[in-house]
């Protein structure tokens, strides 16, 4: 099945490539890991004849999944093994598919990598490739460190199956967005699959097909193979919400969550783009009710395939040495603040995402620290003993996995992060919200739009963001927030970690 294997006993790479792409995690003077993100030093050496016992990674990245979806489909956590570290305060820094995915791969904010959308010039996968990011992102860094990298499913928006395999990936099964039919680039060869059973007796549901190929990849491994990083990019629960027939009767009694901000009655405190929205009609709400149930059905199939991957790893003897990381590229609003189905805001429904991690030495339980998608690349790099070729803006979550706190209190790990969303084209026209960059802190959200409009929510007293208190803030407090937001909105690498208020390692 695999065109080429990387042997654990012969992880020899050109020194020039290693010098620029990847370095081992060395120890700092106090005995702790040195900061991830540097790009100079020696490459990790493997002793010939000695097995490589570095861990494997399976990263499951769903599409448009919310925190409430995770708890509604209870078998997801079971499919991850049940004993997970669950991050209650996990965010994406930009709530749109392609910008968020680029941030996950690079560990950097959108204001640094510049991929702000996926329609039009200088956006999407082509911009990511043109800027050379696919040669210095997480998979490229892991590959240079001797890992085998494999992708199954969605990569970056604007990717088409005619595109060549990016340099950071060994195994490549990437597809266009599925609807009634879809295509998959399988290591350079394009295959067409039919989505409707009535038109194709050989019907195979998208998520199940990806599961088949991921399981086949695992079954084809041998004890001599390199450790692996596997990216499973699901379509679910993105619209159109496609699910397999076996789940068609599930969740019939599920009801769309309608918190206090659902079809918000009074939006007079909100920015103009929200104030211009009319209340949702009963017909619009009915459509969202159905879409919500279909989203859960699609996610149930994702859970099925995670369980299949775990079973294959258990059979191969690799399960105990494999980390599972489950998250989403962004959240999703369904009626909140009068907004129809969508994302692209800094509101809680869009910015919050599930994050669950299981694996070697992971202590199960809840984590309250403020974390984000920009933390995933440095986390994997540290656990793999590799260095990222691109200096990250985020922090490694590794110390939070082996204990409930890793020595960090709730506010010690990070006190605040940047949430930024841009006015970019969408399939239905230009997104109505002006570009905005804000600070999501411990218990508050301060946001400023390009129009000069501002929002401030005390999330401890107002978790549903009903009362914008920007106009009520003391002058000194408002001045300080504006100054901090301005600095954080242009931070880079070390300066991001200095400004986020976290305790240095």
The CATH code of the domain that includes 112 is 3.40.720.10
Q: 12-21, 218-227, 489-498: which range is least confident on average?
A: 12-21
- Bigger pLDDT: 372 vs 32: 372
pLDDT at 49 (0 to 100): 54
Q: What band does 25 get if pLDDT is binned at 50, 70 and 90? A: very low
Contact 48, 8 (CB under 8 A): no
Domain that holds residue 106: 37-42+52-415
Q: What band does 12 get if pLDDT is binned at 50, 70 and 90? A: very low
pLDDT at 43 (0 to 100): 44
Please check whether residue 396 lies inside any domain of the structure: yes
Nearest to 384 by CA among 398, 402, 399: 398
Please check whether residue 106 lies inside any domain of the structure: yes
Q: What band does 427 get if pLDDT is binned at 50, 70 and 90? A: confident
Q: What band does 333 get if pLDDT is binned at 50, 70 and 90? A: very high
Q: 178-182, 431-435, 476-480: which range is least confident on average?
A: 178-182
Please check whether residue 287 lies inside any domain of the structure: yes
Strands 444-449 and 436-441 come out as antiparallel
Mean pLDDT, all residues of the chain? 89
Rounded distance between C-alpha atoms, residue 297 and residue 294, angstroms: 5
- Bigger pLDDT: 505 vs 205: 205
Rounded distance between C-alpha atoms, residue 200 and residue 21, angstroms: 45
Please check whether residue 337 lies inside any domain of the structure: yes
Tens-digit pLDDT profile for residues 79-121 = 999 999 999 999 999 999 999 999 999 999 999 999 999 999 8
pLDDT at 170 (0 to 100): 98
pLDDT at 50 (0 to 100): 61
Indicate whether 31 pLDDT > 50.
no
Indicate whether 176 pLDDT > 80.
no
Total number of domains constituting the chain: 1
Quickly tell me which residue has 């490539």 as its tokens.
17
Please check whether residue 428 lies inside any domain of the structure: no
Quickly tell me which residue has 């599961």 as its tokens.
211
Please check whether residue 295 lies inside any domain of the structure: yes
pLDDT at 46 (0 to 100): 57
Rounded distance between C-alpha atoms, residue 380 and residue 411, angstroms: 23
Supply the pTM of this predicted model: 0.90
Indicate whether 266 pLDDT > 90.
yes
Indicate whether 61 pLDDT > 90.
yes
Please check whether residue 324 lies inside any domain of the structure: yes
pLDDT at 36 (0 to 100): 43
Catalytic center residues: 97
SS3 call for 339: coil
Please check whether residue 444 lies inside any domain of the structure: no
């Amino acid at each position: 099945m695999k065109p080429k294997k990387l042997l654990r006993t012969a992880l020899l790479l050109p020194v020039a490539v290693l010098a620029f792409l990847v370095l081992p995690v060395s120890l700092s003077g106090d005995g702790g890991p040195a900061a991830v993100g540097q790009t100079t030093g020696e490459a990790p050496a493997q002793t010939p004849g000695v097995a490589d016992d570095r861990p494997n990674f399976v990263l499951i990245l769903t599409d448009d999944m919310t925190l409430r979806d995770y708890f509604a489909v209870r078998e997801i956590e079971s499919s991850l093994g049940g004993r997970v570290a669950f991050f209650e305060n996990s965010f994406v820094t930009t709530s749109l598919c392609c910008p968020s995915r680029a941030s996950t791969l690079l560990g950097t904010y959108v204001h640094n990598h510049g991929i702000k959308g996926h329609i039009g010039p200088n956006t999407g996968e082509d911009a990511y490739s043109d800027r050379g990011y696919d040669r210095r992102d997480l998979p490229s860094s892991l590959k240079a460190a001797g890992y085998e990298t494999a992708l199954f499913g969605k990569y970056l928006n604007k990717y088409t199956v005619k595109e060549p395999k990016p340099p950071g990936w060994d195994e490549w099964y990437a597809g266009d967005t599925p609807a009634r039919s879809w295509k998959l680039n399988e290591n350079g060869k394009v295959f067409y699959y039919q989505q409707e059973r009535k038109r194709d007796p050989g019907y195979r549901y998208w998520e199940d097909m990806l599961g088949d190929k991921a399981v086949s990849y695992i079954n084809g491994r041998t004890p001599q193979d390199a450790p692996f990083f596997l990216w499973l990019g699901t379509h679910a629960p993105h619209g159109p919400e496609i699910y397999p027939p076996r789940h068609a009767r599930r969740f019939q009694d599920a009801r769309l969550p309608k918190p206090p901000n659902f079809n918000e009655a009074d939006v007079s405190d909100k920015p103009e783009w929200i104030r211009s929205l009319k209340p949702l009609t009963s017909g619009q709400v009915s459509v969202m009710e159905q879409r919500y149930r279909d989203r859960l059905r699609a996610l149930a199939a994702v859970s099925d395939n995670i369980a299949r991957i775990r079973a294959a790893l258990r059979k191969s003897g690799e399960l105990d040495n494999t980390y599972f990381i489950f998250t989403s590229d962004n959240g999703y609003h369904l009626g909140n603040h009068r907004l129809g189905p969508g994302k692209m805001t800094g509101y809680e429904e869009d910015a919050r995402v599930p994050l669950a991690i299981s694996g070697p030495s992971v202590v199960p339980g809840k984590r309250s620290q403020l974390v984000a998608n920009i933390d995933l690349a440095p986390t994997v790099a540290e656990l793999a003993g590799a260095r990222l070729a691109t200096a990250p803006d985020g922090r490694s979550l590794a110390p939070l996995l082996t204990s409930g706190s890793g020595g960090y209190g709730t506010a010690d790990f990070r006190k605040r992060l940047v949430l930024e969303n841009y006015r970019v084209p969408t399939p239905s026209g230009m997104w109505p919200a002006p570009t905005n960059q804000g600070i999501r802190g411990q218990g508050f959200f301060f946001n400023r739009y390009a129009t000069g409009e501002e929002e401030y929510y005390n999330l401890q007293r107002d978790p549903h963001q009903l009362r914008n208190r920007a106009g009520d803030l003391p002058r000194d407090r408002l001045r300080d927030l504006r100054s901090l937001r301005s600095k954080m909105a242009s931070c880079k690498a070390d300066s991001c970690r200095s400004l986020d208020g976290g305790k240095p390692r």
